[in-house]
Amino acid sequence: MRSPTSALRVLVVEDNLDVARSIERLLRVAGYTVHVVHNGASAMKEAPKFAPNAVLLDIGLPDVDGLKLAKWIRQEPALQNVLLVALTGYGLESDKERVREAGIDHYLVKPVRFEKLESILATATRNPG
């Protein structure tokens, strides 16, 4: 476990339970504080309470589209500076443009190499104290 990651809080928004569990386990082993939700409505409820430094966001959610959720996060004063990372199965250039327009910082197509994800999470701002 590396101590620099221990202060980093990551919200995982993923409707595929197997993918969510896998990501959660990898992040926890790497020393991150992790909270997992499986739909957009839960993310909207939990994100302000959890106060994440980064959100790993599936785009194809069953209720609130991940792009709409990203726009909502960007409008929330306490969450505006959160690092948003799309983890998606959508890989077309038009999808990438829509992700950028929604305010998402990074776009990763599943399956994602954990080393790549960790290097992106390293750029997230940690909560003071």
User: Does residue 128 belong to any structural domain of this protein?
Assistant: no
- Count CB-CB contacts under 10 A for residue 7: 14
Q: What is the mean pLDDT of residues 10-18?
A: 96
Q: What is the CATH number of the domain that holds 79?
A: 3.40.50.2300
pLDDT greater than 90 at residue 42: yes
79 is written with which tokens?
């969450």
Number of domains the chain is built from: 1
Average pLDDT of the residues of the chain: 90
User: Does residue 126 belong to any structural domain of this protein?
Assistant: no
Q: Which DSSP string do the residues of 5-66 spell out, in sequence order?
A: HHT-EEEEE-S-HHHHHHHHHHHHHTT-EEEEESSHHHHHHHHHHH--SEEEE-SS-SSS-H
User: Does residue 35 belong to any structural domain of this protein?
Assistant: yes
> How many whole angstroms separate alpha carbon 14 and alpha carbon 97?
21
State which residues form the domain around 76.
3-121
Closest CA to 55 of 29, 28, 25, 85: 85
Q: What is the mean pLDDT of residues 17-24?
A: 96
